[in-house]
A = this chain, B = another copy of it.
Amino acid sequence: MKSLEQLTDPVFYIMAALAKPKHGYAVMSLVEETTNGAFVIGPATLYTIIKKLLAEELIVLHDASDSRRKVYVLTEKGRTVLEKDIERRKIMLTLAEKELTKGD
């Protein structure tokens, strides 16, 4: 995750889920449910990425955490990065659809 540009898919999903405070397990559940099981983030992926996001200060441990559940939420910086990545992804989709339909 060089310098925060180009979020990978799992990173994007996790950050999107953490736009609102959630604990890790809830992130896994949300993604799995929302995608009808098409996208599953396992614990290894989840906690590896959470560790990175904390280090990059894109998320923080939220007050509401207790010893059992650790609640995280996007920082302002994280929100900005996510919003920028949403734009990038929209441009990607535009390009793809243009190429697919162009001409025929």
Could you tell me which A residues sit within 8 Å of B by CB distance?
5-6, 8-9, 12-13, 15-17, 19-20, 31, 34-35, 38-39, 79, 82-83, 86, 88-93, 95-97, 99-100, 102-103
Contacts and interface: CB of A to CB of B under 8 A. Distances in A.
Given A82-B100, A100-B82, A92 B20 contact: no
21 contacts: A6-B39, A12-B96, A13-B92, A15-B96, A16-B92, A16-B95, A16-B99, A16-B100, A19-B96, A19-B99, A19-B102, A34-B91, A34-B95, A35-B88, A35-B95, A83-B100, A86-B93, A86-B100, A89-B92, A89-B93, A90-B93
A29 to B, nearest CB: 13
